[in-house]
Amino acid sequence: MSEEQIPKSESLASKAKSKKRSREDDGGRRKKKKTGYEQDDSLLDTELGVNTGIAFMDSQLMADHLAQRTTKFGTDLSAVELADLYISPASIQDTTSWQEPRTLAKLPDFLEKFTKDPKDLTKAPKQKGAPHTLIVAGAGLRAADIVRALRKYQSKENSVAKLFAKHIKIDESIKFLSSHRTGLAVGTPQRLTDLLENGSLSLANLQRLVVDASHIDQKKRGILDMKEITMPLAKWLSRKEFKDKYTAEEKPLQLLFY
């Protein structure tokens, strides 16, 4: 990070914490058109392409934020259907201890911090198409950037799979998963869902599920700011296969928001 960016990051962090304190001081009252961290441009670092507010959301705040977004975008769903999409705070790992900017360059360091043995990221399960780490991005181009950021983990015995629709046909992804030992995979919600449901993607060895939540595009939108992405993401994260593992006593599945 440059010397010019450091003061800016500190200023953004101060604003985020100040907003949190002010909500506590006034008993949690909020304006109707402005809830939590959303719609506050002061928390959007357009130079880094990051919504800095995500970094200050602990498990409870992240669960509330995700629920608020699904409620906003899921107006066509019943109360029961919305309840099925709810992810409990106990299912989300608190990552507020991560003090670095949530940029592409820092993603490997983030993964290593929240992996018991960072060397495991360089290894792939023997079963093909059964990654230990899945990273969910909001768009194909962003997913491609993430794959490049994870190149340090790639080897002949440990592939980083590209599981998104941008310029990659689903048949290509199916062929890749069936022929490669894959440690990490990066994809978009709908493509991941399709590959899981057709049996190409296995969850047998999955240890961590990471959501690329802080990134914002040129229009200042993140993965939780667009209905066409947020709803497939919510349905993906709330699949029974995941919910059963988030809070498992033995080898729980890590759910991380970067």
Q: What is the pLDDT of residue 51?
A: 96
Residue 24 lies in a domain: no
Residue 12 lies in a domain: no
DSSP string, 70-111: HHHH-TTS-HHHHHHT---GGGS---TT--S--SGGGHHHHH
Residue 75 lies in a domain: yes
Cβ neighbour number for residue 109 with a 10 Å cutoff? 11
Q: What is the pLDDT of residue 18?
A: 52
pLDDT in tens, the chain (258 residues): 444 444 444 444 454 545 445 444 445 444 444 444 445 788 999 999 999 999 999 999 999 999 999 999 999 999 999 999 999 999 999 999 999 999 999 999 999 999 999 999 999 999 999 999 999 999 999 999 999 999 999 999 999 999 998 789 999 999 999 999 999 999 999 999 999 999 999 999 999 999 999 999 999 999 999 999 999 999 999 999 999 999 999 999 999 999
Residue 31 lies in a domain: no
| Collapsed DSSP state (helix, strand, coil) of residue 194 | helix
Residue 248 lies in a domain: yes
Q: What is the pLDDT of residue 202?
A: 97
Distance, first Cα to last Cα, the chain: 18
**CATH for 55:** 3.40.50
Beta bridge partners of 257: 211
Domain that holds residue 80: 42-257
Residue found under tokens 């928390």: 43
Q: What is the pLDDT of residue 41?
A: 82
Q: What is the pLDDT of residue 186?
A: 98
Residue 1 lies in a domain: no
Residue 18 lies in a domain: no
Report how many domains make up the chain: 1
Residue 4 lies in a domain: no
Tally of CA atoms within 13 A in the half-sphere of 154 that contains its CB: 13
Which residues does 234 contact at the CB level (< 8 Å), separation at least 6?
Answer: 66, 69, 70, 74, 85
Work out whether the CA dihedral 20, 18, 106, 163 comes out positive or negative.
positive
Structure pTM?
0.84
